[in-house]
């Protein structure tokens, strides 16, 4: 069911339908010999479930976390072995998308660790802060950007640009390299007009939506620029509304909210997808041999983003402005 994001009523209807209808599952694909990066793979997250499935299907997986990547790696290995599976290769490394040095360090580490090979980049990592609108002033990164924009979009663009030569090289050899951007249906809170304006007055939800709209533009721009010559396929997607470490791990939350969430956690599966269920569309986009690049996906199928996401002029301008910022870092 493809739908166009819009009013709160339409979202409520879609969410109810999503929960009550059968949950789509990605079809198993042999991923042996494929090298994959999954950002944002902390245990309890959607990204963790993506990494676990792809490793179980035979891929060599590198998973990132903003802090304890070693625990994520060890947990993946233990769970797969307990399930009777023998993963080919799982690596973990720290990655803070808001820190340009961390991004550059990770790219250099991966290049050395993998022998310069990368088949699939899954840009899953992201943040959502101040869900209760309690901040009186916007939060910015160390280099002065609104924190959602800096982490979710600029950091993802930066990482992808550094890894792009490896992806294109793999695509030329195999005919199938991929970049998968995990967006959100909340991208409908964004607009192209605000992509190029000051974010000073944006609340955190709108800033989050702006960053997710930008990720769709990013995926589509990559497809237009490199899809044919580099055998690269891209996709953006909404994973579904899930209870995960993002849902139940909000920062700066009051004590009463933490207690309330603990009380309602047992009921979460009744109203939200599990991380494993929410991982399916990402897995589908990363593995489906018939995937057509340059589209937005939900529930393991094409869907329609808001019209602003299909504006090629805005997409081109956003790419050019972001690429100038990337070049200013001197990390090409």
Cα dihedral across residues 269, 275, 281, 287: positive or negative? negative
Residue 208 appears among annotated catalytic residues: yes
Backbone angles phi, psi at 177, to 5 degrees: -110, 155
For residue 68, give the nearest of 49, 48, 54 by alpha carbon: 48
For residue 213, give the nearest of 181, 193, 237, 183 by alpha carbon: 183
CA distance 151 to 191: 18
In the chain, count H helices and then E strands: 13, 8
Distance from the Cα of residue 51 to its chain's centroid: 12
Cα dihedral across residues 126, 224, 163, 320: positive or negative? negative
Backbone angles phi, psi at 35, to 5 degrees: -105, 130
CA distance 120 to 233: 9
CA distance 171 to 99: 28
Tell me the C-alpha to C-alpha distance, in Å, between residue 161 and each of 82, 203, 212, 323.
37, 29, 18, 9
Q: Which of 48, 110, 153, 208 is catalytic?
A: 208
Decide if 178 contacts 286 (C-beta within 8 A): yes
Name the residues annotated as catalytic: 208
């Amino acid at each position: 069911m493809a739908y166009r994001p819009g009013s709160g009523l339409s979202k409520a209807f879609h969410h109810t339908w999503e929960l009550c209808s059968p949950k789509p599952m990605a079809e198993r694909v042999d991923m042996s010999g494929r090298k994959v990066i999954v950002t944002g793979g902390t245990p309890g997250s959607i990204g963790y479930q993506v990494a676990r499935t792809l490793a179980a299907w035979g891929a060599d997986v590198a998973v990132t976390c903003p802090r304890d990547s070693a625990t994520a790696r060890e947990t993946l290995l233990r769970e797969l072995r307990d399930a009777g599976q023998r993963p080919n290769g799982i690596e973990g490394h720290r990655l803070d998308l808001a820190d340009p040095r961390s991004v550059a360090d990770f790219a250099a580490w991966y290049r050395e660790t993998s022998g310069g090979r990368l088949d699939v980049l899954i840009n899953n990592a992201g943040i959502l802060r101040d869900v209760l609108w309690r901040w009186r002033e916007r939060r910015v990164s160390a280099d002065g950007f609104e924190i959602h924009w800096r982490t979710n979009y600029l950091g993802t663009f930066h990482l992808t640009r550094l890894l792009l030569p490896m992806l294109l090289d793999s695509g030329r050899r195999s005919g199938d390299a991929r970049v998968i951007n995990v967006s959100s249906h909340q991208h409908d809170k964004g607009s192209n007009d605000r992509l190029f304006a000051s974010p000073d007055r944006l609340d955190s939800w709108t800033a989050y939506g702006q960053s997710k709209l930008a990720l769709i533009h990013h995926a589509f721009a990559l497809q237009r620029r490199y899809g044919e010559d580099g055998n690269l396929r891209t996709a953006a997607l909404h994973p579904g509304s899930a209870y995960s470490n993002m849902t139940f791990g909000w920062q700066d939350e009051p004590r009463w909210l933490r207690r309330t969430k603990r009380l309602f956690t047992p009921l979460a599966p009744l109203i939200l997808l599990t991380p494993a269920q929410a991982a399916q569309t990402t897995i589908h986009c990363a593995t489906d041999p018939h995937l057509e690049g340059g589209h937005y996906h939900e529930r393991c199928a094409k869907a329609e983003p808001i019209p602003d996401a299909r504006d090629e002029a805005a997409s081109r301008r956003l790419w050019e402005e972001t690429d100038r910022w990337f070049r200013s870092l001197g990390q090409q």
